[in-house]
Each structure stands twice: as structure tokens, then as C-alpha cells.
Amino acid sequence: MTGFRLADGGRIDRRTKRNFTFDGKARWGYAGDSLASALLAQGQMLFGRSFKYHRPRGILGAGVEEPNALVTVDRGPGRVTPNLRAPSVAIHDGLKAVSQNRFPTLKTDLIAVNNVLSAFFPAGFYNKTFMWPRAAWEKVYEPIIRRLAGLGDSPTTRDPDHYDATYAHCETLVVGAGPAGIAAALEAAATGGRVILIDEQEEIGGGALSDPAQWAWLAEASAKLAAMDNVTVLSRTTAIGHYHQNFVVAAERLTDHLAVNEAEGPREKLWRIRAGEVVLAMGAIERPLVFEGNDVPGVMLASAAKTFALRYGVAVGRKVVVMAVHDSGWRDALALHKAGVNIAAIVDLRRDVASDLIEGARDARIACYQGYAVTSISGGQAVKGVTIALAGFGKGQQLDCDAVLMAGGWTPTVHLWSHAKGTLRWDEAWGAFVPDKTHENLRCVGACAGAWSFGKGLPGGLLPAPKPLHESKAFVDFQNDVKARDIGLAVQEGFRSIEHIKRYTTNGMATDQGKTSNLNGLQIASGVLHRPVTEIGLTTFRPPYTPQSFGAILGHHKEALFQPLRKTVIDDWAASHGAVYENVAQWRRARFFPQGSEDMDAAVARECRTVRSAVGVFDASTLGKIEVVGSDAAEFLNRMYTNPWKSLEPGRCRYGLLLGEHGFIIDDGVSARLAPDRFHLTTTTGGAARVLNMMEDYLQTEWSDLDVWLTSTTEQWAVIAVQGPKARRVIEPLMEGIDLSPEAFPHMAVREGRICGVETRLFRVSFTGELGFEVNVPAEHGRMVWEAIWAEGQKHGAVAYGTETMHVLRAEKGFIIVGQDTDGTITPDDAGLGWAVGKKKPDFVGKRSLARPDIVAPGRKQLVGLLTDDPQAVLEEGAQIVADPNQPVPMTMLGHVTSSYHSATLGRSIAMALVAGGRDRMGETLHIPMPAGTISAKVVAPMFYDPEGSRLNG
Amino acid sequence: MLLIHCPYCEEARPEVEFAYGGEAHIARPVDPSTYSDEQWEEFLYIRSNPRGRHHERWRHSHGCGRFFNAVRDTVTDVFETTYKAGEARK
Amino acid sequence: MVEIAEIAVSAAELKLGTEPVQGDGVRLSHADPKARYSLRARDAKVLAAVIGRALPGKIGDTDGGIACLGPDEWYALLPAGTDLPRVEGLPASVVDVSSRALGLVLEGPGALAVLSSGCPLDLAKMGVGRATRTVFETVEIVVWREAEDRWHVEVWRSFATWLWNAFLAVMPHAK
Ligand SMILES: [Zn+2]
């Protein structure tokens, strides 16, 4: 034996060495080694420091259940992953692994003083101690606790990797590719249906990988599966969770097992699998035993030692003692002995053990101690020996050893079963919960079903000990440093439900979700409470089964692909003319077009002045549009909107105000009647989908007798607003078949014709207060028509203007923006839009609510204008408004500023606000307290420019 | 992700194609003006929120576009049935 | 405070390709220009008579370039320039939406995998000649299986850039 590497055996490739580093030191292993097996082979017993007490910790398990040996793997800038479990990390050339939770080094950890003081850190310590003073929490306690109790460091740079994702469908999904899972996959595949078999390990085989007798069968089965077209085998893939109707999400690790320079393509792939049937073959996890010193490096699960020896060719010690309460410990001891590991003794709490096991041990010349328990471990950073005692109380007896194996029985892995809301039943023989019933097409096979023979054993994991529980340092949850006595304390302090005990002690709440601790915790609570386990309940398993990178969950949809950014057909033109953008819903819109060194204020002032004095062109394509067709179209709109629609003549437009049934404003927009049975509706940019859905709802479910159909035409039409006194002159030369004269084409009219040779729906409408048109053309022609209008506009001094200028111009006229000047609690009357409510209409959506007591009560917030005493002071949108700036805090707030701008046209600031009883306060001075001082403003009507509307008639 | 059987498409489709539409069988009164404030409040805001069988509306928004009704168990999330809008409560 | 570097390519910089892209086993391209109509009617016969074309009767079926998307909804994808009459005075609706969407075509043995990367339907089971509205991740699309290995995807114009690039991201060795 070189180091701890056995002379032969294992599935490692002894001809291929792999060089890596651990805590900066050069190490090596063989191809096929895990980080844990390679380090164990070189005698590394110490792998990390515990979370709370910083106790030295070694390897407990050989799989994902490992709670102690958490490492950070560094694959270069932005590729640092904390909290990986050493037994699940495959080694490759250049792997850089670093232990966690130690300061400054693993061997000399200064914070281990917590361990010495551990009597002062019982369960609930943080909750009890760091409550007051509150300010100290943020400044003192939290930073220190975070320093002490970190579980690795979170990444601080952008993840440079990309991730794949897909949906997949199959008739049968098998989770877990041990012998039971492989058998289930072969059986399902024979029927011809699509089968997906996934397994979290580097290669399929599960428990068979640790049993050379099964390797021939395994190779044959693997080849058979690989040859079948209807089977997809995914290793290195973890089923994170089971969701409704057999939707299983799994993450495949594609490159982390490769050297950095060999890693190509996505790092992980998220599989979103919908399966007809799901077969869970997730196996079982061995339980540790709970005794004094059970966390000293070198104390581990018997099954893990077997895996290290038989799969990786590594002995976990030179002289090994097995502490069992279960037959599997004996079997593992014998298998280890056969593999060349020196088993010094088998200790079993049971007096009666099957004779074949005892004979096997005798033949192997292994000392047997039946009826004994380990009562303590000597050694701090590594096991030096054990003390055993008859029934745990008798006279202590020392045994020399350098490793102690625990065989505490087996816990079926029911996590995904529980995600699926499958029920569990207590199985006395297993001393564990096993799957019972489910409403999903889901079944368990093999060990996770409780259908696997590991032999017999005692159900409880707490060994009898000479010390009383409250003095013992026997650990239950290794990762969260929960001791048996913490559970005792929780019960003593009155916690009864396991859900409460869990949260108080944090047992099972670490990143391993209690894979090795839940059952022992439950058994101990049951013992202290003198109530059967089944009455104490079980905590809930939730996805993910093991910690999962966010990258895979996002899949491709990060950075540029995070979500669609919608652009209009005129967007490119805007970009080439220097537009500064803002995002509105998913759209990006040109906000303003600075020239030279102009800032936003200067650009917007120039754009505003030009629109008012000459003409401006604005891309309004993002407006929502709905084509309403059918003989009942007018009747339908009449029921939806507050104002009357039946009387609207074809060729005319109307402002429509849409309420919810609760009476509050939801959306607005100008709509046109193109023909008796055809309307062209517009909605706000952000409201397009919502309004269409709401209208469909009424049409389909309330008024299905109406002959009306709705079609979204938002993206069919590009919309070019041409606004300003010279607007008519700009579009006139381009139009065909539409008489633009004021007599033939008045304000709020619509005409169909042609512009630049393509069809158009031309609206004469204004959101600026100026003479204005909105040119609708099919989107594919939008850019061409825009450029033609722009070219024509140049003859008249036109500007292109953006959303910011649009906002200022409309605010000067007191036009509201739904969602800015309303907030979902504003009625038409509150917004000063009472005129838009058809008083004679018997009904429309929201009408009944307008008569509710709260809606008609005085004192509601109403939309008003505000003029600051200092004309240059621009109020902050959202700022609160009070009547008396000198009242003590908390002040009585009357409302808030909804829109506020500097108006170049007026040479001063303007604002709109929602103020309680606002319309009764005309002329009153109100106050807006700001950090830099209180600003005073006078309440006025929300109409700052051309109140007569004469400019519309240009 | 749920699989929801659309009674119009007559097939089970993934939840992401659907939008939830609140409790079902709450018809808008033919003439809301005849409702008292209390009745109107009930219509607007009061929902049954049962533990167990829940009659609810869904819309196959990114499919056939239809609103329909469903009976779903709010504890298990299992759909007992789905049926077309306008059909009697099941 | 952690400083996070700017992303290399922002959503605003994504471009809608104009030329076909070939990857291993899959090709992405633009469909020929189309005339598109949203057709609605209470009674399919009335609508069929008005437009002078047969209408598929079952949701998901297609016939002569017209797909049935819902119980009273059809989507016509016809050669560019095809004019369908506007219906007046009948319980039906014909709306020209030619400009509303763009058609992307995925073809080749790898096309199904590209589409399945973001579409939750079991597309392998979708018959040739079937069409349906669905989603690709968060974006609504209409998928039309034109042949065993040829999928026509309709997407609203402003989502096309994102969708084009989302397809590219999963196309192996796209050039
Ligand atoms: Zn449907």
C-alpha cells in the first residue's frame, strides 16, 4: 500500500495520473478519482471546518450526502464555485480546490475558539443573544457572524459561462441508475417508449460501482442502453425537483469534470422533462451514529469506506474499527477486509447478530464486540483510537485505530417522492420513512422504495453513553453543527413539532437538507419527548435535491437574451440620429434626440419649442392597437368604455376611457370607427396585452352572444405622429386620396388612403395640443414612410422628438398618462375626466362602482396642477404633499406629485398631482417637504397651455 | 409546471400557455344598478378560497385563446376536470 | 459593494439576421414574404364562403395555408400579395396582419431539438401539417410543421430579433 492507495482494485485508471491542488498544495490522483478519494489516498483526513464551532472535519460519506468536506473549486475568474462536496468532485488536471470555513488555514483555525466556547453557543443562541440593540445587529453582530459562519464565498464577478436548457419528453423517466434504476429503464425501453435515465454520478451504476461482482453485468447493461435509440442516458445529471404531473427538472453538468482548457460549450444544461411515468430509483443513504466525538476526522459511514476501497482503491485507514447497529456494517467490514483494508474490530450494540456475519468476521480474524458501543473518540484532527463500553455504560476499553466506520442503518432517499406530495409511512424494520401513496404516475423501486435488503438493524442512531445528553458532544447535523443535546434543549424549551425543533436547532437546514441528520434528529426528539416518531412528524423536503447553480436555471436567457427588447421599425433610424432611449414595458423608445453637447433638458426644451412653433415627428408605433370587427362592435365598445360609442360616425375618432369593474381607470386611448362594423382601437403601450385580455374575457364569458371579434394589430401598424402648426404642410405632399382640408378632415377624424404609395389609416388627433396627425402604415413600410415624412419635414424645420418631449407637451395640456397620473385607485372623476363618462348610459364596465359610498364621498384624491412659487423649481415625481410644513413627523400627507417637468414653452416648471380634495383647494398653497428644504406650490387647474384648444385648429 | 387539459383544444398543454383567471361562475349581473352596495361588494371582492375543490377560470392565452372553467384541488393542485365556458358548474 | 462588469453584448445590440445560418444538422432562415390574415367567425361556413377557401375544421389542422388556431379562429399564411376580402355585414372578421409577424424557418434533423430548447410542447408527436399557437420561453409563437424536418415559426415582428438569437444560441456550430 502506497499512502492509503490499495495495491489493486477500483474503477480508477492507474495508468493515468491527474495533477491538481488542494489549498494551494500540489496533489495527484488517478483518472476516475473523486477529489475525496484522491486526497484520502494521500492521507488527507482533515477536509474542512464546521459551520458554527469551526471543528475540524473529515469525510463522512462518499456521495452527495457529504455534509463536511465542502470545497470551493476555482476554474478561473468568475468561475469560482463554493460548497461543492469533495466526494462528488471529479478530479482533472489543473483542478484547484480550496477548503472552506477556516481562517487562516485548515490546520490552524483561529475561530476554532468557538469550539472551546461551545457551551455558550447552544441552539437558539443567535436568536437570544443578538436581539438588542437593533442597530448593533447591522453594524456589529451580522458582519462578525457572517465572517464566522460563511459557507464559502459567493461569487463577486459576472459568470462568464453559458448554460444550455431544453424541454424533453418521454414515456418513462428513471431517476437513479443503480441496479434497480437500470433494470427499470431496460424494462421500460423494451416496450418501445422513450426512456430517459438520469444519474447524478460520473458514471451510471449507483451502488453497483462499489461492488466488483456486479461490474460485468453493469457493463453489459450500459452497452445495451447505449445501443437503444429510444433511450437517453444522462450521467452527471441531478434531478433537482419533481413538480406537478411528472415535470422533473434536472441539471446536467457538462464541463466541470474537464480541465479548463478542454472545457468547450455550455457548462450545464437544464432538462425540463415531462414524463408519462416517473420511476424513482434514488437508493438509500446510510445513517451516521450519534456518539461523543462522532465528527472527528476519520469517523465516517461504513458504506463510504466501502466505496472508497472498492470503487476508488483507497483504504480510509490502516487500522479500522466498525461501529454498527446494522448488518450492513458487518457486510461492509467483510468486503473491506477482502479488499485489503485492515479491520481491527467490529463493535455492535446488538448482542444478537446473524451467525453468518459473526462467522465471517471470525474467519477474517476480526475482533467482535457485541453489545458494545463506542463512547468516545481520541484524537482531535484525526482519530487515534476509540473507547468502547458494554451497553455504553460499562467499563471503558481502549481500541487503537485510525478510522471508525459507522453503520447506523439506511434512510431511503424520498426527496423527489416528497416533492411530488407522495405520502410516507413509517417502516419499523428500516427505522425510516418509506414511500406510501401518490396521485402522480410515480413509483419507487429498489432501496428508495424500501425494497432492498441491507439486512437487519436497530432503528435509532443515538448510542447509549455514560455522559448525560446535555453534556455530550455527539453531533446529529454535521454541516449545521447541531448536537443531540441541542435537540434535547429545544424540547426542554417547549418545542414539540419537528418543524419547530428543526428551525430552532437548524437541524437539517444546511445545504445538504439533512440527508444524514433528519432521521437521527427525529429519533432523538422522539426519545426525549417519549412519543413515537410517527407522532412527531417529518419535515418537508423541497427542491433542489442538491444545491444548484443559478446559471442552469436561467439557461440561455441571460445577458442579451435575458428577455426580449422590443424595437419599432423606426428604432434604427432613431439610433442613427443619436437617440437616447428609455425602456417602456418591453419596448425601448427614443426618449430624446440630443444635438451636439445638449443634455436632456436642453434637447427636450428645443424639441418642445419646435413642435409648438413648427412641427415634430414622433414614433408612436408602440401604442397598443386592436381591430374590433363585427356587427355588434359599437355595442361592445359601448359596454366596455365609459363614454358612448354607438353614435360615433364612421370616419370619426373618440377618446375612450376604460375602467375595471371596480370603477378605477385601467387604460385609455383614442379609437376610430372605420366602418359601421369595424373599429381601430388604441391602448397605452404597456396596457396592450392586458386590455385585449380583458376585452376577450367579457366577450367570451359575459357577452358571448355579441358578434364581435378582436385582433391585435399593435405590430401590424407603424405609427408616425406629426404634430405642430406645420403638420399638415409636411404630410400633404405625400398623401393620396385624402382631403386634408380642415373642413373635410376635422380634428378627431380618421381616413383611409395612401401615403408614399402604401395604404394608410390617417388619424387627425393630438396628444400635444397642436394640430396633429398620426400616420398608421403597415410596419414593413414604416421606415420608408418615416424617412419620407422626415425629408418633407426638413423643409419646415421639423424635429424628431422622443417620449420625454411627448410627456412635457401633454402635461402642458393636462393630458394624463395612465399608470403615471393614475395608480389603480383613481376614478374618472378623480382624474378630472368626469366628462368622458356617459351619464345616460345605463351600464358599462365599472359604472356600478362609481356609485359606491367611498367613491362618491368627499375628500378623495383629485388630479390638480401645481405651480411652484419658485418657477425654476422642478418638483420630484412621487414627492409627498402636505398642507402644513411645520407639523411634527409623521405629517398628514395629502397626496403626491405625479408628473413634473420644466416647460420651455412657459418658461417655468409645471406639475400635476393627486391631492385630497384637490379641486376644492384651487389657489391654496401646499408644501412639498424635500431633503434640501420645503418647496411651496399653488394649486391650479391641470391645464397650463392653450386652455381654449385653439391651436388644434391650425 | 402543470399540464392543463384545454376543453377546446381537447389536449393537455403546458401551464405556461395558460393564464389563471380567478374564481369561476361569478357572473356579472345583467343590470348591476339593481345591486345593493353589499351585493356589489360581494360580486367584486368576495371569493370562496376553499381548501380543496375550487372552481376557477383559466385562459388558454398562448393556444386557442379561450377562457374555460376548471375544478382544481387547492391542496394537491390536481385538476379534477376542465369544461367549456358557459357549461354548468361541475 | 461588488462591481459587476458590463455585459459583452446587450439586448439592444442583438441583430436580426438576414441571411440563412447553417449549424450542424439545422438551418435557420427567413420564410418567404407572406400575406397574413387573422380570420374569425362564429360559423366556419360563412367565412369560407366569403373568402372562397376551405377552412380546416379542427384546432391544430391546416388546409391550403390556413391553420385552425381556435374554435372560431384561423390564421392564413398565403403567398405575398394575396388579397382576402374584408367581410362586411356578416358574423365574421377578416383582418390583414401581413406586417404583424415574421416567419422563421428551422429545417434539418436538428430542427426539432432547437425548437424544443424553449418550446414546452412534445413536438416530436406533432404531425406534419399541424400548426398551433404556443410559446418559446416567454415569447408567443405559432409553430407550423411543414414537413418532417421543416418547421415554420411565426413570431410578432418586434420579438423576431430575440427569437432569431435564441435559436442561434442552441444551434450547434452555427455559421
Ligand atoms: Zn386551447
Note whether B44 contacts A243, CB cutoff 8 Å. Answer: no
The minimal CB distance from A567 to the residues C4, C101, C158 is found for C158
**Residue whose grid cell is 437541524:** A507
Residue A1: band (very low, low, confident or very high) from pLDDT cuts 50, 70, 90:
very low
Beta carbons within 10 angstroms of residue A847's beta carbon: 19
Largest CA distance in chain B: 42
The per-residue pLDDT for A460 is 85
Do A565 and C125 lie within an 8 Å CB cutoff?
A: no
What's the ipTM? 0.98
Interatomic CA distance for residues C133 and C128, integer angstroms: 15
Cα–Cα distance for residue pair A493/A123, rounded to 1 Å: 10
Are the C-beta atoms of A65 and A39 separated by less than 8 Å?
Answer: no
DSSP strand pairing (A678-683 vs A665-675)? antiparallel
A140 pLDDT tier (thresholds 50, 70, 90): low
Q: For residue B23, which of B86, B69, B79, B63 has the smallest C-alpha distance?
A: B69
Q: Does B50 touch chain A (CB under 8 A)?
A: no
- Asked if the model's pLDDT at residue A667 lies above 50, the reply is yes
Q: Which one, of A30, A55, A33, A58, lies nearest residue A44 by Cα?
A: A58
C87–A707 C-beta distance less than 8 A: no
C69 contacts on B by Cβ (under 8 Å): 64-65
Scored b (16 or more CB within 10 A) or e, A261-274 reads: eebeebbbbbbbbb
Q: What are phi and psi of A405, to 5 degrees?
A: -105, 135
Please return the burial class of A794, using the count of CB atoms within 10 Å of its CB with bins 0-12, 13-18 and 19+.
exposed
E strands within A475-548? 475-477, 482-483
Residue C40 C-alpha, separation from nearest chain B C-alpha, in angstroms = 12
Phi and psi angles of residue A863, each rounded to the nearest 5 degrees, phi first = -80, 125
As a whole-number percent, the residues of chain A with pLDDT over 70 amount to 95
Please name the member of B37, B59, B86 whose beta carbon is closest to the beta carbon of A853: B37
- CB-CB neighbours of A564 under 10 Å: 24
Q: Reply yes or no on whether the pLDDT at A112 is more than 70.
A: no
- Could you tell me which chains touch chain C, where touching means 3 or more CB pairs under 8 A? A, B
Which grid coordinates are listed for A383?
Answer: 482519530
Q: How far is the CA of C67 from the centre of ligand 1 (A)?
A: 14
Determine the distance separating the centroid of ligand 1 and the alpha carbon of A656, expressed in angstroms.
31
- CB contacts of B89 in chain A (<8 Å) are none
Sign of CA dihedral A199, A201, A202, A204: negative
Tell me the CA–centroid distance for residue A637 and ligand 1, in Å: 26
Q: Which strands form A385-390's sheet, in the order they lie side by side?
A: A372-378, A385-390, A397-400
Distance from CA of B25 to the nearest CA of C (A): 21
Q: Does B59 touch chain A (CB under 8 A)?
A: yes
**Superfamily of B17-26+45-90 according to CATH:** Folate-binding superfamily (3.30.2270.10)
Q: Chain B within 8 Å of C25 (Cβ-Cβ)?
A: no
Interchain pair A711, C117: CB under 8 A: no
For residues A249 and A239, the answer to whether their CB atoms sit within 8 Å is: yes
Rounded Cα–Cα distance for residues A761 and A325 (Å): 85
pLDDT tens sequence across A837-890? 999 999 999 999 999 999 999 999 999 999 999 999 999 999 999 999 999 989
Q: Is B13 on the interface with A (CB under 8 A)?
A: no
Domains and CATH numbers, chain A: 4-129 (3.10.20.440), 163-281 (3.50.50.60), 616-801 (3.30.1360.120), 848-952 (2.40.30.110)
* pLDDT for res A137: 55
- Name the percent of chain A lying above pLDDT 90: 85
Contact criterion met (CB < 8 Å) for A272 and B3? no
Which of the listed ranges A151-155, A537-541, B43-47 does the model predict with the highest average pLDDT? B43-47
As a dihedral over the C-alpha atoms of residue C62, residue C66, residue C67, residue C71, rounded to 10 degrees, the angle is -110
Residue A539 binned pLDDT confidence (cut-offs 50, 70, 90): confident
CB pairs under 8 A between A and B: 60
Three-state SS for A661-693 is CCCCEEEEEEEEEEECCEEEEEECCCCHHHHHH
Cβ pair B66:A700 closer than 8 A: yes
Q: Which of A244, A661, A853 minimises the CB distance to B1?
A: A244
Q: Which residue of A has its CA nearest to C14?
A: A560
Q: Rounded to whole angstroms, how far apart are CA atoms C65 and C84?
A: 13
Nearest to C116 by CA among A166, A742, A855, A226: A166
Q: What angle do CA C87, C92, C94 make, to 5 degrees?
A: 55
- Nearest beta carbon to residue B2 from set A245, A272, A849: A245
Contacts of A695 in chain C (CB under 8 A): none
For chain C, what's the residue count?
Answer: 175
Which residues of chain A are within 8 Å of residue B37 when distances are taken between CB atoms?
A: 852-853
* Closest CA of chain B from C69, distance in Å: 5
8 Å CB contact of A247 and B19: no
Beta strands B67-73 and B53-59, pairing class: antiparallel
**Domains within chain C, CATH numbers bracketed:** 17-33+100-170 (3.30.1360.120), 34-96 (3.30.70)
pLDDT the model gives residue A127: 55
Q: Minimal CA–CA distance to A483: which of A454, A429, A436, A524?
A: A524
What's the average model confidence in pLDDT over A456-462? 90
Q: Is A758 strand, coil or helix?
A: strand
Chain B residues in contact with C59 (beta carbon < 8 A): 8-10, 64
Q: Where are the beta strands (DSSP E) in chain C?
A: 21-23, 26-30, 34-41, 62-63, 66-70, 73-79, 92-96, 101-107, 131-136, 139-147, 150-156
- Specify the 3-state DSSP secondary structure of A330: helix
> Would the CB atoms of C59 and B65 count as touching at under 8 Å?
no
> Which residues lie below 8 Å from residue C114, measured CB to CB, with a gap of 6+?
C26, C28, C106, C167, C170, C171
Contacts with C121 from chain B: Cβ below 8 Å: 13-14
Residue of higher predicted confidence among A164 and A101: A164
Question: What grid cell was written down for A815?
Answer: 393630458
Angle between helix A498-505 and helix A484-492 axes, rounded to 10 deg: 120
**Residue C108 · residue C167 · CB < 8 Å:** no
| Contact predicate A751/A740, CB 8 Å | no
Phi–psi pair at A911, nearest 5 degrees: -150, 155
Query: Measured over all CA atoms, what is the biggest interatomic distance in chain C, rounded to whole angstroms?
Result: 68
Query: Residue A250 in contact with residue A65, Cβ under 8 Å?
Result: no
- The residues of chain C scoring below 70 in pLDDT are 1-4
Distance CA A84, CA A549 (A): 11
Separation CA A809–CA A803 (nearest Å): 10
Q: What would the grid cell of residue A261 be?
A: 482548457
CA separation for the pair A639, A641 (Å, rounded): 6
Concatenating the DSSP letter of every residue in A559-579 gives GGGSS--B--TTHHHHHHTT-
Residue A832 pLDDT > 90, yes or no? yes
Name the grid cell of A150. Answer: 460563511
Q: Residue C70 and residue B64: Cβ atoms within 8 Å?
A: yes
Tell me the residue length of chain B: 90
| Pairwise pLDDT comparison (A332 vs A467), residue with the higher score | A332
DSSP A108: S
Q: Which residue has the cell 411652484?
A: A868
Termini Cα distance of chain C? 40
**What sign does the CA torsion over A605, A608, A613, A618 have?**
positive
Please state the rounded mean pLDDT for residues A425-452.
Answer: 94
Place of cell 367613491: A855
Average pLDDT of the residues of chain A: 93
- The pLDDT tens digits of the residues spanning A552-580 come to 999 988 889 999 999 999 999 999 999 99
Among A698, A702, A848, whose Cβ lies nearest the Cβ of B33? A848
Comparing CA positions, the residue from B28, B10, B25, B23 lying closest to residue B66 is B10
Instruction: Verify whether the Cβ–Cβ distance B16 to C120 is below 8 Å.
Output: yes
Q: For residue B78, how far is its CA from the centre of ligand 1 (angstroms)?
A: 19
Residue A314, C-alpha cell as written in the block: 483507497
What's the pTM? 0.94
Whole-number Å distance, alpha carbon A630 to ligand 1 midpoint, is 23
State whether residue A395 is helix, strand or coil: coil
CA angle A660, A662, A668 (to 5 degrees): 30
DSSP bridge partners of A863: A914
For residue C70, the CA-to-ligand 1 centroid distance in Å is: 7
Q: How many CA atoms lie within 13 A of A164 on its CB side?
A: 23
pLDDT at A211: 96
Confidence of residue A146 (pLDDT cuts 50, 70, 90): low
Ranges of H-type helices in chain C: 44-51, 111-116, 160-170
Q: What is the pLDDT of residues A49-73, one digit of tens each?
A: 887 788 899 999 999 999 999 999 9
Q: Indicate the pLDDT class of residue A470, thresholds 50, 70 and 90.
A: confident
A922 has pLDDT over 80: yes
The span from the CA of A603 to the CA of A609, in Å, is 10
pLDDT at A673: 98
A645 φ/ψ sector (left φ>0, alpha ψ -120 to 50, else beta) = alpha
Say how many Å lie between the first and final Cα of chain A, rounded.
Answer: 100
pLDDT at residue number A116: 58
Distance CA(B2)–CA(B13), nearest Å, equals: 8
Residue-level pLDDT at A763 = 98
The answer to which of A363-367, A489-493, A741-745, C6-10 has the lowest mean pLDDT is C6-10
CA distance linking residue A418 with residue C153, whole number of Å: 39
Mean pLDDT of B18-30: 96
Collect all residues of chain C within an 8 Å Cβ-Cβ radius of residue A162. 169
Cell of residue A403, nine digits: 478510522
pLDDT of residue C151: 98
Classify residue A404 as left (phi > 0), alpha (psi -120 to 50) or beta.
beta
Burial A803-812 (b: 16+ CB within 10 A, else e): bbbbbbbbbb
Q: Which helix (H) or strand (E) holds A285?
A: strand A284-286
**pLDDT over 70 at A766, yes or no:** yes
Residue C148, helix vs strand vs coil: coil
Closest by Cβ to B1, choosing from A243, A702, A704: A243
Q: Which residues surround ligand 1, an ion (CB under 5 A)?
A: B 6, 8-9, 60, 63-64
Q: What is the pLDDT of residues A252-296, one digit of tens each?
A: 999 999 999 999 999 999 999 999 999 999 999 999 999 999 999
Task: For residue A338, count CB atoms less than 10 angstroms from its CB and return exposed for 0-12, middle for 13-18, buried for 19 or more.
Answer: middle
